Structure 1
């Protein structure tokens, strides 16, 4: 199991940072070779399933993630979303959190535990570096674009 932690401080209100990191289809726009769909369509809530289809051609796979915690920020209080990975290839969980940061800015935290089936722990370093790069780049792009 690989753990990653990404943190960013951005000059955005809590609500706007939350909106940007939880617009699931946009994740597909910022993660290479990935398309995202949401089941059921409509507003996210507990029980919503976000499916990221990653890869090319016959090497593509689905990464379904169920929203188990959905607590948008309210009245200056932090927001938290937890997704449990329910796929056949990728297991683990991810948390996206927004909270007040220094100087009226917003602190965004992306925590994730990932296990890729059939990939031995010998390759955890490669998985960790790859995930930090891909998700870090995605987080930067999500927060940069409205």
Structure 2
């Protein structure tokens, strides 16, 4: 498994950054060739399930995820959620934390452990490097879009 960490600082308040990062369908707007569908009714909570489908036509895979921890920010305090990947192709977990930062901004900490089934462990370092770049661009895109 490849473990990676992303940190970003955003000028927007914690509640706004939280909303941008946890409106799951928006992830499809910033990850190329990906569409995200939420399978459970709103609002997001522990037990919410969504699927990111990536690829083109028959050359695609589903990455189903379940929210297992859901602690939205409240009263100026940090928020954190944990997702578990439940797919047959992708496995692992992700934690997204949003903390208050100076001048009313926010600090995002995204930790993820990712495994691609059938990919030998010898490729974990490369997988981590590629995933960090891809998820970093996605987080940047989610933070910039209104």
Residues 62-99 of structure 1: CA deviation (Å, up to 9, x unaligned)? 10110001110000111011001100000010011101
Within a 5 Å distance, the mapping from 1:98-113 to structure 2 comes to 98-113=98-113
How many angstroms does 1:125 deviate by? 2.1
Moved over 6 A (4+): none
Please name the residue that 1:64 is paired with: 64
Q: Secondary structure at the match of 1:6?
A: strand
Within a 5 Å distance, the mapping from 1:1-146 to structure 2 comes to 1-146=1-146
TM-score, with length taken from structure 1: 0.96
d(CA) in 1 for partners of 2:141, 2:33: 15
TM-score, with length taken from structure 2: 0.96
d(CA) in 1 for partners of 2:110, 2:34: 19
RMSD (Å), alpha carbons: 0.9
Gaps of 5+ in 1: none
Q: Secondary structure at the match of 1:83?
A: strand
d(CA) in 1 for partners of 2:141, 2:59: 25
Gaps of 5+ in 2: none
How many angstroms does 1:32 deviate by? 0.7
